[in-house]
Each structure stands twice: as C-alpha cells, then as structure tokens.
Amino acid sequence: LPNLGRRRLRSGFSAQSNRTRSRTARKLQDEPETTPVIYQSLPRMMVTLQDTQAPTGADIMSSPHVVMLTATELDGPWKKLYPSRDLTDPMAPPLPSPVEDGTRPKEAIEASDVARQKREKLSPDAKSAMTISNLNELSIKPESCFGRRGPLYVVACAVNVSTYTSGDFKQFELGQAVAPPPFNDRCLAVSGRCGYACLAEQEPLPYCLPNGYINQSFLVGNITIQNNKQLPVYMFVYVLLFGFCVKVVMLCPGIFSPYPHCGMYYPELTQQLRYIVTCTPSTAGDENKSTTIRNLVGCIAAMPRGIRCRYHVVLLDETHRHEMKVCWQKLCAILSAIPPSRLQSYDDNLIQFFAEWCEDTKKLNLNLIGAKVKVLEPGVLERVCGKSALKKLRGDPVWACMDQIDIQRLESALDEFEENVRDDNRWTRVAIHRDDVADWEPKDPRCMLRTHYVARAKPIEDERTNRVQHVAPGTWYYKVPADATLEDWLTLRQSAREMAYGHDDEDMDSHVVPLRTSRGKAGGLNFVENYMVVVAERPENAYNNEQDDAPCLYSIADARHQFQHDFMASTIPYFFNQDGDLDTKVAFTQCPQHFHESQDKTDYLDTNNASFFRLNCMIRNCSGGVSSCGTNGTWMIKHRDNSTIWETERVRVRDRSRRTKKVEVIERRTFHESCKVEDTASSLQAVVAGRYSQFINRKLSYGMAKAAVGYLAATQRWAEGGVVLSLQTLTTCEKGHWMVFATLLFFIAFIFSLIRLVTQDVDTWLIVMLGLVSQETMDIITIPMESLLSLIVTDLWRRKMLGTGIKDPAIYTKMALQMVMWLFMLMCCLFVLWVITSFCKLFRRKCCVFPDQLRWCGRLLITMDNLTYFVWFWTAFFWIGFNYYTALTQSHYHFQFEGMMLFMAVVNILNWGMIISNSFRYSLEQSMEANEIAHLSMDNIWRSNQLFYMTAPVQLFSIIVGIKEYLRYQFYGMDISFWEGGDRGDIAISIVKHWTLLLVFGPVAAWGCYFFFSHRYLNAWAACIVVTIIGLDVLHPCVYLWVGDSKLSAQEAAKMSWRQALTSGAWWKRLVNLLILNRTLTGILKYVGPAYFLLLPLSCLTTTYFGVNAAFMMVATNR
C-alpha cells in the first residue's frame, strides 16, 4: 500500500476480518501503476463481525457498532470515514444534489426534517457510527379477517430476511398456531394491538393499554439461550456410556476364535478317562417316578458305543423316597434282562434298546406324566415303561433273531416295572437321617455300565436353631478319627448325631465334621462325587495302569431333562484337542436347555432362554467363557489325592471362647456351596484357575417345561445368587479373586475415560497430566494428526455433510482428534496387555498368577459381567421414566437431524451385522459339524427386549434380598445354598404382574395427556410412540401372567347366557386370552420392534428423539 503514490484512499477496518482485508488489498494491487488514481467513493466491501457476544435479556435488538477509519498513510493519522459535515475536509464525500421541493412528497420532506433534527442532537462519535435507521414502515393488508367477532389480539413480528428466505423456514398457513410470548426470541421487532373486533363497545382487555396497544412488557422478556446442557441430557449421555461399556464387555470376547477340539468321537478317547458319571438330582414335586425314569433312560442311552472306561449312572434322591428306590431297582432288573444275541454284544443291545426308549419318551411333558396326573394314559404308560420301544425293536433283524425265552424274560421285567410306575406319587420316607446307597453291576464284567442309587442323610433339624454350615448346636455331625481312611467314610457318617446345646463333644483324637455343609443341590452333587471316588477306589474297579490316575467326567442331568442317545458321543470330543490328546485346560462343556413344547412363537416368558444360548453363549464361546447353567453341563474333574476325603476350611464365624476364627474339618468339595448359583460360582473358580469351557450348540437334551411363571422365579433366584456371589468374590482374598477385582477396576477406568472424553473439553492430555509423556512428545503425534483431521472435517463441512447448523468446523476437528487419540491409547493398553500375557505364556508352568492369554482376559470380562449384570437394572427404570418425562413435560434439548440419521444408520448396520454374522457363523459351523442348526430368530430378539423391561423390578428386589442373605452367610455362617418350596418366586411373579400391567396401561394415560396439553411440547408425540412400543413389548407377558391360566372351556362358554358371560370373571379372562394370546397377534407384534429399529434412520428426519431412543435400545438390551 505505501507504493501506491498519491492515491488518496487508504482504508483500514478495526472490526474487519483478515479475509476481507486481504481481498481489498488484492483489489487495489491488481490495478495498473501507470498514473495516480483519485477515488471518489469506496469500492464494494463487506464488514463481518466474528466472535461477538450476543446480548442477553430483553435487549436482544441492540447490536455492536462498526466504525470505518481511513488514512493517507499507514502510519496515520486515521480519521473516521463518516465524520460530521465539514466541507473543508478533503476526505469529505460530495454533497447530494438538491431536489426541488415540488418534486418531493410532503411525507418525505417531513421525514427528512425529523432525521436532520435528530442528527443535530447526536454527538460527533454517534454521527460517525453505522447504525440501523427506521426509514421504512410496513402496512399489513390481509386478504381475510384476522379472527372472529369479539376480543382480538394482533401481534406483528418482523423477522430477519435471511431467516424468512432460508430453505428451512416453513411459511405460515392460515390458522396456524404459534408459540406464545415472549416473541423477541424470534422477532427483530414486535408490536401488538388489542380490542374488540366488529363491536361498538370496547371494554378493557387484559394486557391491553388504553391506547389500544398491547403492553410491550408482555410481548418481550428475558430469553434464555437454549442448549443441550441440561440434567436430563447429561443423564441420558451417562446412561448411553454405561450401556456402551456393558455392550463392549458382552461383544469383546467375540473377537477371538473358538478353541479347537477333536472332530469326532473315537472309543480310544475314553481310555484317557478314569470314569464318566451322569448324576440325576431328584426332589419332590413334578420329579415323580415317570419324570425321573425318563431322565435315567436318557442317561443310560447316552453311554457311547465301545467305551473304554466305566460309565456310572447315579440317581441322587434328595428326599429319601423308598418307592423311588424300589422303582430304580425295577429299572436295574430291566438292565439285567436285556437279552444277548449272536450278532452284537450285550452293550450294543442295551444301548439300542434304551436309545429307542429315549426316542419314545423325549417329547413327553408334565401335562402327561407330571405329579398332577393321577393316572397315566395307557399309551403314555407304555412309552414310559419301555414296552412301546420293545414293540418297535421286535421288527429289527437283530432282535428278531434273539431267543424268545430271553425276550419273554425282558417282557416280564417290563411288566413288573409298569406295575411299579402305575402306582405313582405315593412316598414313604424311612431313616432319612442316615445315608442310603445301593449299586448295580452287570453280570458281564466287560460291560462298563454301572448304576447307583444315592440318598444322603437329611435329618430333621431343630427349627429354633439356624441352619449353618459348621458344627453348632442343633446341627448334625459325626466324628472322624485322625487315622480314618477313605473306606471308613460311609461308616463314620452312619454314626452322625445332633449336637446338643451345652455339650462339648470334641476330643483330641478326632475331628467333628458337619453332616451337611450344604442343604442344596451343590451339597448333593459333592456327595455323589465323593461317593464315586470311594467306588472307583475299590479293588474290583481298578485298571492297574495310568488310567487309575486319569481325570473323570461328571455330567449333570436335572430330573426334568433327558439326555439324548448321542449326548456323550457329542460331548466327549470337546475335552480333547485335535490330536486326540486330553486337554486338561477344558473345565466343562455346556449344552443349551431345550423345551420342545415351548415354541418361540408361544414362549411368552422365554422359557428356553434362547437369546442367551443362541447369541450370548456363541459370543462367549469364542474366548472359552461360557458359564455353566447347571443341567446339561459336563465337568472334567482332575485326579486328586484320594487317600482321604476330608479337607480343612477356615470357619467364617468366631469361636465363643477364643473369640477368633478357627479351622474345621469338612468333606471335600468340588462344586461351590456358598450360594444358590453353584454353577456360576464353579465357573468362576475354573476361570481364575486358567481353564476354559466349550459350548455345544445342539439339542442334545430335551426338557419338560414347568409353568412359564416358574421361569420368573428362577430369574429372581439367579439374580439373588449373583448378588451374593459378587459380594463373596469382591470381599474375600481367595486365590485368583484379585484378577476379577482388577478386571472390575479396568472396566471402571474404561467408563471414566469415556465420560471424560465425551463430557469434558480439555486441552491437556491425561497421560501428560500423569507425567507419563511430555507435551513435546505428544505434539509430535497430535499436530500432524490434527492437520489431517482438519482437512477431512473442513471438506465434510463444506459439503454440508456435518449438518446445516455447524458454524465452526474446528470444533469437530478437536472432537475427532480426541476420539482418535482415545482409541490410540486404548490400543496401546491392549498391546501392553498382549505383551504381558505373551511373556507369562512362556513361563506359565512356573508363574500362573497372571493370565497367559488374551482369551483368558476375555473370560475374566465375562466373569465380571456375570457378577455385575444386575447392577444395571436401573437403566430400564431410567428409560421408561425418561420417555414419560419427555411425553408429559416441556423439554428443550435438540439434536441435528442429519447427524442423528447418519448415526442411527451406522449403529443399525453394526448392531444387526454383528447379530446376523455371529448367528450365521455359528449356525454354519454346527451344520458342517453335526448337520444341525440352532439359529437366532426374531422371536428370540423380541423376548430379550421383553425381559429387559420385565425383570428390572425383580432384579431390584433380588439385590435387596441378596445383600441380606450375604450378611447372614458372612456373619452367622448360615447355609444359603438351598431354597424350599416356591422360595421368593411368588413375590417375583406378583411384582412382574403388576409392573407389566402398569407398562401396558401407562401409554393410554400418556396419549390422553398428549391430546389434552402435552401436544404443545417438543418431542412429546415421539415419546408417546416410544412408551406405546414398550407397552406392546410387554403386552403378551402381562396378559399371560394375568389370564394365561384361564380354565373355562369353549363348551362351558357356549352354554352361558350374555348376562352370565358379562358378569363372569372366567369368561372375560378367556376372552382376553383368545384376543391377545394367539399366533396372529403374536406374529404381528414381534415385528413391531424390529421394524421400528429398521425405520429409525428415516424416522430421525421427523424428530431426532427416535434416534435417542434407538441409541439407548442398541446398548441397553440383549443383556
């Protein structure tokens, strides 16, 4: 600019942007340098103000002033471009040409005089400022009436032309409702008139001045700038982060590949096992003779062909039913009567007969053979007693060649068995305070099958005393001499007696041992395992080779479940590697529970637990972290020192005399007896020991489902046991528990890192604040990354792909940089963990205190999830409450439509892609391995959403009860590993019934409020749709719980008159049952949720609240 010579105009702008100054400079520099140029006026330019503070309160029409300065040289002096009229100033612009008064309107002359008088009163500085002058007036001439006759308020609102002409602005329509005052949140200028339209009498109106204008104070007011920094939004963001973290824990184990195993069964594999035992725990109730025999038939049929180790089938009768023992003896008589043949061995004939018997009985249900059935139907009785199977086998060529005398002997045994089963549900209990055991062995010693009846002592305890797990007054115990051996165990237990208060029965030469440390299922399983050790140590059962020191397999088959004939042949290979060697790292295998009568379409309470078995277990199996579910599980028990069956344990309660905790002797335990979920506790023990599990996703067991409401009781029991186990694990220092605690700390740190990433705008990196890395080192990484991200974000911003409301792309650049660096730090942490585990793997034989595989870390995540899943019960309450809060109250949060649509499209693709790919991958593997597919259906996904809402109050109740049970266990040493009768199941069912009823009728109230008043609120209608979908989700379970037990038949209903029907509760129950619980409505409703998810990206264009809802459901459900 100094080289421009005599150019008179030199301009600088104090409030002008650098971009404007550079553009003006280029304009001047582009002109020729030949001759001086005198500018009579300024070139066209635009002054832009940036980073100015918007005024607050009612004075939002005030605006900053811009003063234009000019100078002949850059060093000054600088003068205002529009000073007061000084004709001697060389920089003064020329005066306007005068206009004849006759050519000017009178109004224009008067307006110019008024403007001149105003200018004369202003200070020189004010005259030099650029201000907005009100030179124009607007007259509104409507084409129709403003309103009806009577009181009328008319408000005129002037808006910015950029707002009015923008594409997002919707033109007003006649009769359209507008938001109430204050109007200065949308108007540049506002004024109002009031009066009575078309009426002669003008009475005073509220808010109206005597001159007919609306009081300005009622039209304008303080405007609060709206943003998303509100408590509901923060709560929602935190819940999303929590849900995302839990989702990561659920999906993270799926990044690995499942552990390989032997491809198929070979008889030689069983030579590496000492024995295989299947245990059938049986109690009262529906576990009568028919139910228990069906189970035992399946266990015997599951014996693999050509087995090279002993195969034990054990009936664990926990209620000491003498008739059940006699029934077992009749079954043993059938085993002895299996005829031999010239074409195949006794073992093959036995397996073939029981396999056919198993096939005949696998689809029986409790309605046919349960305890409530007084007399079995003839056809059912034939199937239960094996006669139907024998009739089918008579046509087999092998059985047709058998000696008829042998066949008649078998038929006679079946007749006796039928007579015994016919007289069902009558029990006699004798000597229940003593153990009752019996064994059956085949005549041919080459046969590997052995069956046992086991009923451990169940003495009647003093109801006044606590049921504790240690020796105390009121409990039963027996004495063990110091030189007692394994063979003395059962004999010593026969001398058990009750400890009397005030009588100390201890002596120096023996130990007192509690007779029953666990009164639940775990205690019975441990008793069977100890008994099997005693049986295996008998001389006649010795192999006299290394097989005597081999591990054994222990399968659990609850009485209502029946193993299929290929159960063991399919399970055994999973304990061996691809070379056929026994893999002692395998702790157990687990098969899904399958109830054939509970089809997906009518399984209203998800009795099959299909979502867990068909999705979660498939994901967890990738890291070998599937948890045991009790029945259908097979455990590998390593060989131990069998010279004794007793071990020591530290007593939890303090001794009265010593006031210190002491050590007592107890019987050896294999399964945990500390809580009701012995399967989960035993799985935890295997994980911390470095062992893994295998999941067999096949229908290898057929169960008989109880009433569906019983599943809710089981859900409560599992949650209660989980609370107790969590407290026991995190408050004790047992071996390996520190790894679970460390995993929990890592998970908490992961949550806080996400919260810090999302909610805090910090300029200093955390690792720099901790002193791990210097700021200079971080700059080497972040500066190039920031430059690259800035180019990408700026390009997206220019293409308007970030939304139309984005003013500064630098904000998104910073967000992207922080996100990339967070991911980078996370990958660094995982890399360090991989290095440590790889190092430990090199020395795993000497150092087993730290995981030696990343898959082991994945199993620890699963274990942590099992111990904390109930903590997130409140998310269902929050989401339901959040939607009702939005539907009934004024909300001000807002999200951009384009960004929310893009976000939801990505989330849907990732979520459904994960579900479909995992399900398809596992189904494909199963189809190739066993030609069997257990796929995840839409019904299963729907049921998981139902359970998310249904079980929330049950989990809250379980947390309260679980804490109480833990305190009883920890401070009083009480046995909390068992339940009696319905336990707390009735309470859980009642809670779910009333909770689902509230969710079903809640949307009716929400829509009523919407039509009355809340339709004026932002997002209210979207929230009403969401609560309606929630109500539809739980509609079927609610109706099933309330009217599912309708017993009024169609014939009885037809005989009723209309008056009788309308006044009959049974008729109404039947009507609701028929209207709701039918396949047609079920088929429609199950697609409402999935269709809603698929349409969410498009629905986000109407309101972003749908995206908020979908984001929550993606991370919160499928738990």
- DSSP codes of every residue in 339-376: PP-SSS-HHHHHHHHHHHHHHHHTT--HHHHSTT-SS-
Which residue bears the tokens 């520190």?
A: 738
Q: Which residues pair with 588 in a beta bridge?
A: 635, 693
Query: What is the C-alpha to C-alpha distance for residues 1006 and 884, in angstroms, rounded to an integer?
Result: 7
Q: What is the pLDDT of residue 950?
A: 86
Q: What is the pLDDT of residue 754?
A: 86
**If DSSP codes are grouped into helix, strand and coil, which group holds residue 276?**
strand
Q: What is the pLDDT of residue 938?
A: 62
Q: List CB contacts of 592: < 8 A, sequence separation 6 or more.
A: 608, 609, 613, 614, 617, 632, 697, 698, 699, 934
Query: What is the C-alpha to C-alpha distance for residues 1036 and 270, in angstroms, rounded to an integer?
Result: 48
Q: What is the pLDDT of residue 128?
A: 46
Q: What is the pLDDT of residue 30?
A: 45
Q: What is the pLDDT of residue 147?
A: 65
Residue stretches of the chain with pLDDT short of 50: 1-35, 37-40, 60, 84, 96-97, 99-104, 108, 127-135, 1118
- pTM for this structure? 0.78
Distances (CA, A) of 435 to 318, 490, 524, 645: 10, 8, 12, 16
Q: What is the pLDDT of residue 233?
A: 78
Query: What is the C-alpha to C-alpha distance for residues 992 and 976, in angstroms, rounded to an integer?
Result: 24
Query: What is the C-alpha to C-alpha distance for residues 1057 and 1060, in angstroms, rounded to an integer?
Result: 5
Answer yes or no: are the C-beta atoms of 695 and 590 closer than 8 Å: yes
**If DSSP codes are grouped into helix, strand and coil, which group holds residue 48?**
coil
* 888 closest CA partner among 1000, 998, 996, 1008: 1008
**If DSSP codes are grouped into helix, strand and coil, which group holds residue 547?**
helix
Query: What is the C-alpha to C-alpha distance for residues 473 and 498, in angstroms, rounded to an integer?
Result: 8
Residue 992 identity:
V
What would the pLDDT profile of 706-739 be if each residue is shown by its tens digit? 877 777 888 888 899 999 999 999 888 888 888 9
Q: What is the pLDDT of residue 118?
A: 54
* 49 closest CA partner among 97, 25, 89, 14: 14
What would the pLDDT profile of 819-828 be if each residue is shown by its tens digit? 888 888 888 8
Q: What is the pLDDT of residue 15?
A: 35
Query: What is the C-alpha to C-alpha distance for residues 493 and 487, in angstroms, rounded to an integer?
Result: 11
Mean pLDDT (the chain) is 80
Query: What is the C-alpha to C-alpha distance for residues 136 and 126, in angstroms, rounded to an integer?
Result: 21
What would the pLDDT profile of 187-225 be if each residue is shown by its tens digit? 888 999 888 877 777 778 888 988 889 999 899 988 877
Q: What is the pLDDT of residue 25?
A: 37
**If DSSP codes are grouped into helix, strand and coil, which group holds residue 317?**
strand
Q: What is the pLDDT of residue 275?
A: 95
Q: What is the pLDDT of residue 919?
A: 63
H or E element at residue 902:
helix 897-930
Query: What is the C-alpha to C-alpha distance for residues 687 and 851, in angstroms, rounded to an integer?
Result: 10
Residue 605 phi/psi, 5° resolution? -115, 15
Encoded tokens for 1080: 């047609």
Which residue bears the tokens 């209620």?
A: 319
Q: List CB contacts of 197: < 8 A, sequence separation 6 or more.
A: 145, 146, 147, 148, 149, 150, 151, 152
Q: CB-based burial of residue 437 (10 Å sphere; 0-12 exposed, 13-18 middle, 19+ buried)?
A: middle
Q: What is the pLDDT of residue 505?
A: 61
Query: What is the C-alpha to C-alpha distance for residues 1022 and 1106, in angstroms, rounded to an integer?
Result: 7
Q: CB-based burial of residue 973 (10 Å sphere; 0-12 exposed, 13-18 middle, 19+ buried)?
A: middle
Query: What is the C-alpha to C-alpha distance for residues 54 and 226, in angstroms, rounded to an integer?
Result: 13
Residue 160 phi/psi, 5° resolution? -65, 140
* HSE-up (13 A, CA, CB side) for residue 3: 7
Query: What is the C-alpha to C-alpha distance for residues 916 and 910, in angstroms, rounded to an integer?
Result: 10
Encoded tokens for 344: 């195949």
Encoded tokens for 89: 């100033």
Query: What is the C-alpha to C-alpha distance for residues 832 and 396, in angstroms, rounded to an integer?
Result: 64
